[in-house]
Amino acid sequence: MAIRRLQEEAGTGSSRREFAVFETARGDALFTQSWTPVAAADRVKGIVVLLHGLNEHSGRYNHFAKLLNDHGLKVYAMDWIGHGGSDGVHGYVSSLDHAVGDLKEFLKDVVLEENYGLPCFLFGHSTGGAIVLKAVLDPCVEVHVEGVILTSPAIHVQPSHPIIKVVAPIFSVLAPKYRVAALHRRGPPVSRDPEALKIKYAHPLVYTGPIRVRTGNEILRISSYLQRNLSRVTVPFLVLHGTADTITDPGASQRLYQSSASAHKSIKLYDGYLHDLLFEPERDDIANDIINWLSSRLDVLQRW
């Protein structure tokens, strides 16, 4: 396992952005990046590790990361296997448990190693949220994490047809990389901002093809696991979901809030909002809700 620094982007006045490659125990090279506050007054107060959603990449969260920098939070992000600039067939994930394990390795070998003693938070969007949630069910991870932020987490994903749940496990073995044309990702819209959609789907690192059979089955598998284990969640968390989201189920976020054993938990439901909350027209309001929650958690930690 190793981290190789690639490049440092010129500072923008408030942030320094760096790019690196992280080699996993399996030998896969994962593209990573970080954003660090650079202003003299911006003492780093904590760390946020960000995991993007299905078919996208970490660079889409550049604006959000810089907002976190403005509040003294250093941000790390990782393109998970088969996504963005990382190794693997684009849009293909043979096992989401690999992504869970990669997050654990990256957290232990890079993030905690470079930022000893600083409070650490995990952020995950959609399938990235499911990966984060499964990771913190491991006590060895949970002990290092002061809180989790989940936007539109893939705790429950409804297949477009009931038969998919039956055939997906079979075809994921027989033809794992097969792309299901009927399940093309441009079905339901994920944002009410047309410009945000245009930018997303024009980016070469965003996978725009039909979902691959194994990838789809892995999402069903991890979401099923999480639904059975919601009561085991003990980490402090904030979950945010749009009520009009047709990609992941806002009701599942409510069940997480109701069923978890976490002593400190919050939920935000946004009436009429869609799936990509940080790319909705109200993205800055949503970012502020996240920043306010992080600030409140940091205040609690400082009083201890």
Specify which residues 76 forms β-bridges with.
34, 49
37, two tokens: 């506050």
- Backbone dihedral region of 80: left (phi > 0), alpha (psi from -120 to 50 degrees) or beta? beta
What does the alpha-carbon distance between residue 152 and residue 248 come to, in Å, rounded to a whole number? 6
Q: Would you say 194 and 276 are in contact if contact means Cβ atoms under 8 Å apart?
A: no
What does the alpha-carbon distance between residue 45 and residue 36 come to, in Å, rounded to a whole number? 11
Q: Where are the domains of the chain?
A: 2-303
Element containing residue 32 per DSSP (H, E) = strand 29-37
pLDDT recorded at residue 57: 98
Q: Would you say 24 and 52 are in contact if contact means Cβ atoms under 8 Å apart?
A: no
pLDDT recorded at residue 1: 46
pLDDT recorded at residue 161: 42
Element containing residue 251 per DSSP (H, E) = helix 250-259
What does the alpha-carbon distance between residue 304 and residue 301 come to, in Å, rounded to a whole number? 5
User: Which portions of the chain are predicted below pLDDT 70?
Assistant: 1-13, 40-42, 159-187, 304
If one looks up domain 2-303 in CATH, what number appears? 3.40.50.1820
Q: Using alpha carbons, select from 296, 267, 271, 35 the residue that is nearest to residue 153.
A: 267
Specify which residues 7 forms β-bridges with.
19
pLDDT recorded at residue 42: 60
pLDDT in tens, 211-255: 888 898 899 999 999 999 999 999 999 999 999 999 999 999 999
Q: Using alpha carbons, select from 236, 82, 215 the residue that is nearest to residue 150.
A: 236
pLDDT recorded at residue 211: 84
What does the alpha-carbon distance between residue 123 and residue 189 come to, in Å, rounded to a whole number? 23
